[in-house]
Amino acid sequence: MSAAPDHDGDARLGSVPAAIRAVLARVAVAAFRHAALAIVLVALAAALGTWSAGRLKLDPDITQLLPPSYPSVQGIEALRARFGGVGYVVLLVEGGDQAARRRFADEIAPRLEKLETVQYVDHRFPAEFFEDRGLYFADPADLTALRDRLAARQRWEIERSYIDLDDEPPPVEVADLEAKYRKRLEDNGGARRGPYHEDETGSTLAILVRPTRLASDLTFAKQVVADVERVLREAEPTAYAPDLRVELTGRYPKRVDLQAVLGSDLALTSALALGLVVAYLAFHFRRLLAIGLVLAPLYAGLALAYGAAGALFGTLNILTAFIGAILVGIGMDHGVHLLGRYEEERRAGVAEEEAIRRAFGEAGRVSLAAALTTAAAFCCLTWTDFRAFREFGLLAALGTLLVLLAYLTLLPALLGVLARHAPRLSPVRAGVALPGVRFMHRAAPALFGGLLVACALALTQLPHARFDADFSHLDDADLPSFRRDREVNALLGRSQTPLVVLARSEVEARDVSAAVRARMTALGPDATIGLTATRADLLPAGQEAKRPLLREIAKITSRIRPESLDEETRGRLERLRRMAAAEPFGPADLPPALRHTFEPKPGADPVHFVLLYPTVSMADAAAIKRLAAQLRRIDLPGGEVRAAAGEPMVLADMLETIERDAPRILVTTGVLVFLVLYFTLGRLRLALLALGPALLCLVVTIALLPVFGAELNYLNMIVLPILLGIGVDDGAHLLARVDAGESLEKVWQHTGWDVAGAILTDGFGFGVLALATHPGLASVGKLSLLGLGVNLVACVVLLPALLALLPSWKALPRVADAAERPSEPSAAPPRQAGS
């Protein structure tokens, strides 16, 4: 066999691809020759990466995914500093009788308020406070009308005390005024079914615990939930009634439960994927040693990638947390192709070092092309303000190249150790060829035509493909905390999680509240806010001016004889007497449950809050954008402008950033991928043929989504660039060998087998996510399985069938053995095991 350089191949490739092949071959041969040094260096780098990766923490806080300059982010930071938590830990109390549930709520509320992680507890509405002071909420004109009505009754009684007539007495009519101000109290968030948060049947009671920090801080969310659970255990609910039970729900328990589900799913699916991959590698290469040869460089590359993440970022966000699974899928392809090509050369009788040169020069060049195209696609994601995409793109691109570097250095070093120190383990077994290749080769026209028709039929479904913009479908896990949370919203009659406007004064808070209400009234059915609440709503204006009227009313009611009234009117008179006797009140007089709602968290600067409760789903992307558009600018009478703050505002900015940046990212990705393929493969037609099936695979995969009842969403869309990288990688390995003059049938059999193996291992790695409980993870697994299935057909059947039909490749010489080229000197005979 020949060991001389392939000058014909160099001429065919061009200077850049030939230089790349030569450099990769030299690096691999150097690692093979100096195996111990290469292994030590890679091991040290991997150990350093593992140490750096140990500092990583998962930060699912979506508010940290945009630049600090964004107003929505600044609003969240202001909330974090002054308002404290948004949303609640909700205790749903059931069982026992109503008295037992209420007694439990009354006694546990003070204990919960003592927790450092809790700002206040809302378990009971002080309705009697507002009933006794209800007249202060009336307009002066209504107070005057009430006084005149009462005065008319009083005059009637005085007149009849002198002369008794049989005419009907004038009623003490106040029902219309009561209805008016009850409606006003409802608009301000003050009316409830009763003093406690209870459902219509009175069988479920809710206790609302307001934490001191935002739920987006997962570490804090875990802490406050644990604190509440500890107090519950100490309180022993069954001591109040044998069947009394308490369940936790609300924003904070949902975050904690969701994180637990994610962790459990990832652990289960990772273990299952590893088992399947290990079993398949043993089957694919027909020896157990191949498992270590493929997985050892993969681990080193992952350690380097995560080490880089630890050094660059220190945290993993909601997207970069998936980097490991992505790099395993992409990186293992390199291992299968490189080791598969090496073993194919060895089976052909090529000596170890020459087999390293050929495998890592040829297959390594194609792997580099695939890695660079994938890295280019990921790098384009850095061209956005959305930090989740930017960090994901940078880390994925860097990780892709680091994993390939580990394979190019550690794999030949391990093969060198085996060749010199364990020769009995070094020989490879008889290879396995892709079955059915001869039949597919003969039937290439029919296969190609049939698959084109199938693609055309699939593409007819493309208009039916949908993007699911509902965030709730990504994390609406089948858990008690998620199911019960919807019940709490129904029980309260509103959302638990308001947006917040920070106002400088009580007057400004009133103006904000009035402006929002006026805007929502004008918007009609398009309004996104159903309830506004501010402390100013609970403190009626002009109390001192109303006080003389209240004294007149008190004087009049004291002279009306209750015995002359029917029972219902007599009750109203008693309530009027209490209300007329009330003194003006201020913020300090409000009951603690209400006062704390509008107070800044301890230690924060004084500020006034306006709470805005949405009527639309905060999981619907379109609704979130509409809400943000309505609340980004709140114009006040004095010309000042305020804006709402909250996670929905940040989400809206994220969505708009993604939509704004997506077109240029897609165009740039396409251009970069094509240029990288052109320069690394050396031929325009090779670049087009490698990119074409990969792009077709993406489009057909999207078109098939409605056929399988699936949709794209904000989480599984990260699979698309992965499918592009895998498709380019596998197609390029086939094209490069056929372009080098090898027999298409031979390449189809051997490289096709490696391509099928690489895609199957990807399927094991990603596809097991389809078994996840978490809906978002399951959608990633389902889309991966569909895309990889399409990729398998495209790279193993469609592309080779196309090559069989192209006359330019049919005319190429078939170089099955270098001995057919007499102009090249013969190499030394292949090294035998144990020699």
pLDDT tens digits along 344-397: 888 888 899 999 999 999 888 888 887 888 788 788 777 777 777 778 888 888
The reported pLDDT for the residue numbered 813 is 43
Q: Find out if CATH 3.40.50.11540 is the number for domain 433-464+682-814.
A: no
pLDDT over 90 (residue 39): yes
Please give the single-letter amino acid code of residue 563.
Answer: E
If you average pLDDT over residues 241-270, what whole number do you get? 85
pTM of full prediction above 0.85: no
Among the residue ranges 102-106, 122-126, 413-417, 635-639, the one predicted with the least confidence is: 122-126
What is the CATH architecture assignment of 1-64+286-431? Up-down Bundle (1.20)
pLDDT tens digits along 709-759: 888 887 788 788 778 777 787 888 888 888 888 888 888 988 888 888 888
Q: How confident is the model at residue 793 (pLDDT cuts 50, 70, 90)?
A: very high
Give the tokens for residue 209: 């615990």
The two domains 1-64+286-431 and 433-464+682-814 share their CATH topology (first three levels equal): yes
Contacts of 417 (CB under 8 A, 6+ apart): 35, 36, 39
Domain locations in the chain as residue ranges: 1-64+286-431, 133-191+540-584, 433-464+682-814, 498-539+607-617+620-665
User: What is the C-alpha to C-alpha distance for residues 76 and 628, in angstroms, rounded to an integer?
Assistant: 14
796-825 in b/e form (b: 16+ CB < 10 A) is: bbbbbbbbbeeeebeebeeeeebeeeeebe
pLDDT tens digits along 434-474: 888 899 989 999 999 999 999 999 999 999 998 887 766 66
User: What is the C-alpha to C-alpha distance for residues 690 and 667, in angstroms, rounded to an integer?
Assistant: 18
Among the residue ranges 107-111, 185-189, 497-501, 771-775, the one predicted with the least confidence is: 185-189
User: What is the C-alpha to C-alpha distance for residues 236 and 104, in angstroms, rounded to an integer?
Assistant: 10
Task: Compute the residue count for the chain.
Answer: 835
Q: How many CB atoms lie within 10 A of CB 659?
A: 11
Residues 181/138, Cβ–Cβ less than 8 Å: yes
